[in-house]
Amino acid sequence: MIGNRWRSEQDGDDKPRERKLRRTWPQRFLVLFNVCMILVALAMAWTLRYTYVQAASVERVQLGGSLTPRAESSDSDGGVFNVLIVGYDSDAGLDEDDPIRVGRNGERFSDVILIAHVDEVEGTATIMSVPRDLWLPIAGLDREAKINFAFGVGGPAVLIETIETELDIPINHYVAIDFAGFQGLVEVVGTVDVFFELPARDWNARPAVGPPRTQTGFEIGAGCHALDPPTALAYVRSRHYQVQMADGSWVDSTPPSDLGRMQRQQDFIRRLIQRAIDLGARNPFVLSDLVDAGLDNVTIDQELTPQTLLDVGRTFRDFEPGELQTFSYPTEFGFVGSSSVLFGLDEPAAPILEIFRGASPSDPSTVAISVVTAAGVEDDAGDLVDELSDAGFIVSGPSLSDTEPGIVIRHGADGRQAAEVVRDRLSSSTIADFVGDDGSVRLEEIDTLPGRSVIVVVGTASPSLNSTIPDDAGVGVATSAPDSDSGTGEEASSDAQVTTTSSTDPSTPSSGDQPAEDADLAPPLDASGCG
């Protein structure tokens, strides 16, 4: 009733006086909500403008015709492009007592080489790590060397041309990050949780200069640790990663050197992104802090405009770290003269590179399949090979092995999505031939399988994950990794004798195919024990 909202009071002249209407709590809440929405909108507008201004002020490098121009996209949602990301290790700005400065004289090495494939149409992102010890011809030079020599001798232009020529993938944009500035990003989020199953450290037993020592100063106990900025930087830098066994001895982790470090870096990137999201990275105020920290130590190419950066940010504003696909360029360990290097493996690399040439991860051309079957069912297995080949997969086999009825698709740590693509393309009649009407196709992870290479085993129940893979299975990974600390790769002459250790030889354990008793040497990359 009106009388409940208004009051009449008598003044000195006995005339009624009305007081203003009081808002109810729902009304107040609505007003407050509208005010907050206006403030958020203004904050977002300010942040976008601030980010735009900041992005425009980033240091740029003129690469002229070194970059491949982005293809024109008819899709209003954006385009598809590759970004070369170089994390260079410079001793500039480091503390005088930083272990990384030992033996350094101001050189700048391409310590991390990543290629990011951004698909704005499908909203997907894929990262491939390229080991710095990858041995290949250097563009513009009549010689071969480690890939980081290209950056050291000719900067980004020579590195880009080398990648485009030897890997046959376009590079549309370039980003360089001073690795020492990596600490700034961690400082914004405070700490990043990482679980260590065993005590770990960085320890170089054979440094190029001086006695055995730590290269990064990293050492930590077992359990869940919130890594602060200096510790996080030391962790992702560590090439000589060791773990401590129950008897107190320290042993090299697997996979070693660059390969293990690439895994740790990829895992840490996911954790850093998730931590930023948890703290509100999609909040404009938190985002502005991340932008400040990130851009202070970044150099980009002249074509990577602020508008492009903002467009990518809008496309991936709801992107989840778990959706990030990561791969390591498949390699095998070998020697050039007395220098240890990594040689690229063309067959397992082919399906990964197809993604960076523009193919969708769901495209069969991005998956390499080796078919293994039992004796007596070769004809059915042959039909399976034909079916997969007709679908567009890269298929080899079938090869023979002792098996039991069923279908198992084996994949590596990076290859589950590839295995799912294969599973989804199998026809119901093919599945029925090997499994029966009520059976299912199982997926199994095997560390020895690189990238998007999978093995389709028809006629097996559940063999041991450490069972021998047939010689002709068509897969391979690095059996070890270079232990040289040279930053440029110049120490190995392209005229020296080349030897390799083939990872497809079942008598030679590969990185990740260690004896069962050594299985705990690999540093855990999951969040177990952290909460």
Percent of the chain topping pLDDT 70: 64
Comparing 369 with 93, the larger pLDDT belongs to 369
Confidence of residue 510 (pLDDT cuts 50, 70, 90): very low
Residue 483: how many CA atoms within 13 Å on its side-chain side? 15
Stretch 46-52: mean pLDDT: 56
d(CA 147, CA 132): 6
* Start-end of H helices in 224-342: 229-237, 257-278, 284-295, 306-315
Q: Say yes or no to pLDDT of 497 above 60.
A: no
pLDDT of residue 89: 64
Q: Say yes or no to pLDDT of 503 above 50.
A: no
d(CA 100, CA 214): 9
Stretch 444-472: mean pLDDT: 67
Q: Say yes or no to pLDDT of 9 above 70.
A: no
pLDDT of residue 207: 81
pLDDT 10s digits, 161-195: 999 999 999 999 998 887 666 777 788 888 999 99
pLDDT of residue 323: 80
pLDDT of residue 378: 81
Strand partners, 332: 343
Confidence of residue 462 (pLDDT cuts 50, 70, 90): very low
Q: Say yes or no to pLDDT of 152 above 70.
A: yes
Q: Say yes or no to pLDDT of 474 above 70.
A: no
H or E stretch at 372: strand 368-373
Q: 132 with 110: CB under 8 angstroms?
A: yes
d(CA 85, CA 381): 43
pLDDT 10s digits, 252-264: 887 666 778 778 8
pLDDT 10s digits, 125-142: 899 989 989 999 999 999
d(CA 47, CA 317): 14
pLDDT of residue 79: 85
Q: Say yes or no to pLDDT of 316 above 80.
A: no
Stretch 188-216: mean pLDDT: 88
d(CA 481, CA 131): 10
pLDDT of residue 123: 83
pLDDT of residue 434: 79
d(CA 236, CA 407): 39
Tokens, residue 14: 């006995």
Q: Say yes or no to pLDDT of 12 above 70.
A: no
Q: Hey, what's the torsion of the CAs at 167, 170, 174, 178, to 10 degrees?
A: -20
Average pLDDT, the chain: 75
Stretch 138-156: mean pLDDT: 92
Q: How far is CA 368 from CA 167, 365, 393, in A?
A: 17, 8, 6
Stretch 408-425: mean pLDDT: 93
- Which of the given ranges, 18-32, 478-492, 500-514, has the highest pLDDT on average? 18-32
pLDDT 10s digits, 337-394: 988 899 999 999 999 999 999 999 999 999 999 999 988 788 888 889 999 999 999 9
Percent of the chain topping pLDDT 90: 33
Q: Say yes or no to pLDDT of 112 above 50.
A: yes
pTM for the structure as a whole: 0.71
- Secondary structure of residue 187 in the 3-state scheme: helix
pLDDT of residue 26: 55
Confidence of residue 294 (pLDDT cuts 50, 70, 90): low
Confidence of residue 290 (pLDDT cuts 50, 70, 90): low
pLDDT 10s digits, 394-414: 999 999 887 767 899 999 988
Q: Which residue has the tokens 């990011």?
A: 116
Q: Say yes or no to pLDDT of 460 above 70.
A: no
* CA distance between the termini of the chain: 55
Stretch 480-503: mean pLDDT: 47
Q: Say yes or no to pLDDT of 226 above 80.
A: yes
